[in-house]
Amino acid sequence: MTRLEATRAARALFDVSLQQGDPAHTASDLTRMVELLDAHRDLETALTSPMVKPAAKHALVDQLAPRLDLTSISHRLLLALADRDRLATIRPIAAAFHRRMLEHQRVMEAAVTTAVPLSEEQAAAIAAGLSRATGRRVSLVRAVDPSIIGGAVARVGSLVFDGSITTQLRRFKEQLSAEV
């Protein structure tokens, strides 16, 4: 399934969950399913293998649904994906669903990379600053990359705010080279 197909499936799932249920609960269902597959690779193999018949995948999904406390909407999605041998697409569908939910809530996702993990207070301060800069609410996705030495790099949509020490050192070097 391409990214476009995953986006379409997520949009349809979002619309159904908005009409018939709670999109936040559906998002939580998708997160739990992805976390389960991440934790149990053998289960993922069984659910995504073309060698396993759809009926066996149905049975597995039916056993998982009550254990994960899935809504009927999420359960039906997994069954439909099993019928079409598309359970391997749950990750891109979940990611697209989360993006769609943020759009619906008028929240922008910001990827923030720092040299060390952020405390909750630091994350809140960065989110507040990015909210002021963009004029929208911001949800942070944090990453750690020691190669930036210090500071932070934030990506919000097509905007990049680069306050990393690495970039500052590079700019300083360019200035010194230009003066020589």
Res 55: pLDDT: 93
CA distance 145 to 153: 10
pLDDT exceeds 80 at position 128: yes
Point out which residues pair with 153 in neighbouring strands: 113, 162
pLDDT exceeds 70 at position 137: yes
CA distance 170 to 166: 6
CA distance 129 to 66: 41
Three-state SS at 154: strand
> DSSP readout, 114-137?
ESSPPPHHHHHHHHHHHHHHHTSE
Three-state SS at 51: coil
**Residue of 88, 61, 115 lying closest to 2 (CA atoms):** 88
CA distance 102 to 93: 14
pTM over 0.85: no
Residue 4's pLDDT band (cuts 50, 70, 90)? confident
Give me the domains of the chain, ranges plus CATH numbers. 3-102 (1.10.520), 108-179 (no CATH)
Q: Mean pLDDT over residues 109-124, rounded?
A: 95
Res 94: pLDDT: 97
Q: Are 143 and 112 in contact (CB under 8 A)?
A: yes
Res 1: pLDDT: 62
- Which tens digits make up the pLDDT trace of 22-50? 899 999 999 999 999 999 999 999 999 99
Point out which residues pair with 156 in neighbouring strands: 110, 159
Residue 142's pLDDT band (cuts 50, 70, 90)? very high
